[in-house]
Amino acid sequence: MRIGRGLKVGAAIFVMSPVALGLLIIIFLVMSADDEGGGGDRSELTSGGLRIGEGAVPPQYASLIEKAANDCDAGLSPALLAAQLMQESGFNPRAGSPAGAQGIAQFIPDTWAAEGFDANGDGKASVWDPEDAIPSQGRMMCKLMKSAKKHPNYRGSPSELALAGYNAGWFRVVQFEGVPPKHWAKGETYNYVRIIMANVPKLTAPDDSAAESDSASGWALPVKAPLGTPYHQRGGMWSSGYHTGIDFPVPVGTTIKTAGPGTVVSAGPGGPYGNQVIIRHSDGMYSQYAHLSSLTVSAGQKIKAGQKIGLSGATGNVSGPHLHMEIRNSPAYGTDIDPLRYLRQHGVTV
């Protein structure tokens, strides 16, 4: 059910603290539809599809979720919306809660009055109709993503901040300058964000074009070099206010290889990232390799693990030559996850 004006943390059948049921908070969401996103890669890219079926996304909602995400220009992942719906209601369009939240996206009435709209054009904006509720959820999350990108100093990625704003109210994100800490409200929002982010990969469809299994593919580090700047180190030199990946300090011209098999979705200039390559892997996640001096692959190309994709360099926003690597749940900036944890899950020793 969400802990704020018109916001709840989930239906009562889900793991939620009773603290939220006693909170009656009148807030004003600190956001507007014309918020502009923050810095980073602004490339027009299509994010990964959804895992559909039992234990994943119900087929009747998949296209609604994908369209709601694709209508957002702030890097909103379909799997993020799906994981949010799963946490909110278990994809139940008739879900309710003692706090008054309603429908598949668990809007409280006054928030629905402000954010809900008649997406299917039947003349009625209904919180109980997924054809209205899911697009309304997507539009609200898109606003929150844009607001999040305007605050690079806040703790958490734009996806995490948007989830926290949807759950507790954006004013709480402002109050804590990031995702509310674990000790606040018995961890309601903290755990809401953590659970949803953990479920995003589970709801992302595998890439059938990358048939080679991870166990046989020999996942490895993209370059043999010591680790440099770690993930989420804070600093003013990054547009997000923190480091969104990991660095490998290597001389210009060092061979860079893909960490795992997949399909190249982007290869070329990436703004502050300089020359970059983004690869979609078989689990629907993406790896990014940035600041390259030259590229040896192109968009649409299928590649094997360990295949050369370019040479290291110092293009883009850098203080010296190195490889910058990110793992994302969509191709877009602001959807990063911990790259070391991901690589270790694929058997890489690092």
Give residue-wise pLDDT tens across range 224-271.
Answer: 888 888 888 877 666 667 788 999 988 899 999 999 999 999 999 998
Task: Provide the token pair at 335.
Answer: 């959807």
Q: State residue 263's pLDDT score.
A: 93
Is 326 noted as a catalytic residue in this protein? no
Q: Which of 244, 214, 216, 240 is nearest to 229 (CA)?
A: 244
Q: State residue 331's pLDDT score.
A: 86
Q: State residue 189's pLDDT score.
A: 96
Contact by Cβ (8 Å): 7, 240 = no
Please give the Cα distance from 302 to 299 (Å, whole number): 9
Q: State residue 25's pLDDT score.
A: 33
Residues 137-148: tens digit of each pLDDT: 999 999 999 999
Contact by Cβ (8 Å): 56, 279 = no
Q: State residue 176's pLDDT score.
A: 96
> Strand runs (DSSP E) across the chain, as ranges?
246-248, 255-257, 262-269, 275-281, 286-295, 302-303, 308-312, 323-328, 336-337
Q: State residue 332's pLDDT score.
A: 85
Q: State residue 225's pLDDT score.
A: 86
Contact by Cβ (8 Å): 232, 221 = no
Q: State residue 99's pLDDT score.
A: 87
pTM: 0.59
How many C-beta atoms surround the C-beta of residue 280 within 10 A?
Answer: 25
Q: State residue 206's pLDDT score.
A: 63
Q: State residue 192's pLDDT score.
A: 96
Q: Which amino acid is at 242?
A: Y
Q: State residue 3's pLDDT score.
A: 54
**293 backbone dihedrals φ, ψ, rounded to 5°:** -85, -30
Would you state the CATH architecture of domain 18-203?
Orthogonal Bundle (1.10)
Residue numbers in the chain where pLDDT is lower than 70: 1-48, 206-217, 236-240
Asked, colleague to colleague, whether 18-203 and 214-345 share their fold, the answer is no
Q: State residue 145's pLDDT score.
A: 92
Would you state the CATH architecture of domain 214-345?
Distorted Sandwich (2.70)
Domain chopping of the chain, boundaries: 18-203, 214-345
Task: Provide the token pair at 155.
Answer: 């703790």
Task: Give the rounded distance of the alpha carbon of 193 from its chain centre.
Answer: 11
User: Nearest 5 degrees, angle CA 306-CA 259-CA 324?
Assistant: 120
Bridge partners of residue 211, in order along the sequence = none
Catalytic residue among 88, 115, 188, 326: 88
Task: Supply the mean pLDDT for the chain.
Answer: 82
